[in-house]
Amino acid sequence: MAFEEELNALVQRTKANDENPSRTASYETINRTLNENKKRHEVWMNDVDIFYNKYLKEHPLGQKIDTWLFHRKYDQLVAALESISEDKDFINKMNGISTVEVPKYKAKMLPEYDVFISHANADKEAFIEEMYNSLNKLGVKIFYDKETLEWGDKFKDKILEGTKKSEFAIIVISTNFFGREWTERELSEFLNRQNQNGQKLILPILHNITIEQLKEKYPSIADIQAIDSSKYTCDQIALLFARQFIKRLKAY
């Protein structure tokens, strides 16, 4: 298949709509839908990786595409391929050398997470463990220090890596969260990312605190819609997150 045909096929695959379950959908339906949508997007990004190694390294967008592949940035990759599909000079050039040798493809074995759970250790037993289990039942890929960090890891480096590789951050804010070095470092990392790309990233949960306490302690996130852990079960919070994640995939 010539370069232009391969490019157009990749672009057309992004036009297919992801399945979006109804508000009344069961756990099983949401879990199945989430996994199918994620698998479809992951397969597409792997195919783009192959296409990049075959053709796009010399394109002006090549370095950016490599970075977006590294971070699995679906929407940026779609926009890049759409731009390249309009670059007639490059298309003509590549169609003329469509039999180039394909470099050996090496899959990127990098851990990627749907959500990072930022929390105080003191809240683990009373709340975080149950929420983790509820998310895990839905097949969500979670950065949770207790499950993700391994023996011998440098925990500071690993946590900072997790903040960069997570699509969302559930920030569980309690009085235990206030003033802790690493909880506030995590919050700062996610705020910086959210401010840079303008995309929803932070999903705050107020755990045994009031909105007034949040405004007093963290005014920078006081205007972000939060949920109160006393008004939802952990299973309900997991469903709310799953719907947010499916909307993100659908928007891609």
pLDDT tens for each residue of 138-190: 989 999 988 887 777 777 888 888 899 898 999 999 999 998 888 999 999 99
186 is known as an active-site residue: yes
Are 65 and 144 members of one domain? no
Q: What does the pLDDT read at residue 211?
A: 93
The CATH number of the domain where 169 resides is what?
A: 3.40.50.10140
User: Is 123 in the same domain as 231?
Assistant: yes
> What are the backbone angles phi and psi of residue 241, rounded to the nearest 5°?
-65, -45
19, 82, 147, 186: the active-site residue = 186
Least confident of 8-12, 13-17, 68-72, 77-81: 13-17
Percentage of the chain modeled with pLDDT above 70 = 87
Question: Do both 89 and 133 map to the same domain?
Answer: no
Do 156 and 241 belong together in one domain?
Answer: yes
Instruction: Show which of 95, 116, 143 is a domain's final residue.
Output: 95
pLDDT of residue 110: 38
Same domain? For 176 and 193 the reply is yes
Look at residue 130 in the predicted model and tell me its pLDDT. Answer: 96
Measured CA distances, 157 to 69, 118, 161, 169, 236 (Å): 21, 15, 6, 17, 32
Domain, as residue range, for 83 = 1-95
The verdict on 85 and 5 lying in the same domain is yes
27 phi and psi angles, rounded to 5 deg: -50, -45
Based on the domain organization, do 233 and 172 belong to the same domain? yes
What confidence tier does 18 reach under pLDDT thresholds 50, 70, 90? low
Per DSSP, helices labelled H in 3-58 are 3-13, 27-55
Q: Give yes or no: residues 111 and 90 share one domain.
A: no
Query: What is the arithmetic mean of pLDDT over 60-78?
Result: 89
* Longest CA–CA separation in the chain, Å: 65
Query: Do residues 158 and 146 lie in contact, with contact meaning Cβ atoms separated by under 8 Å?
Result: no
Residue 26 sits in the same domain as residue 141:
no
Let me know whether 153 and 226 are in one domain. yes
pLDDT at 105: 43
Judge if 91 and 203 occupy the same domain.
no
Domain count, the chain: 2
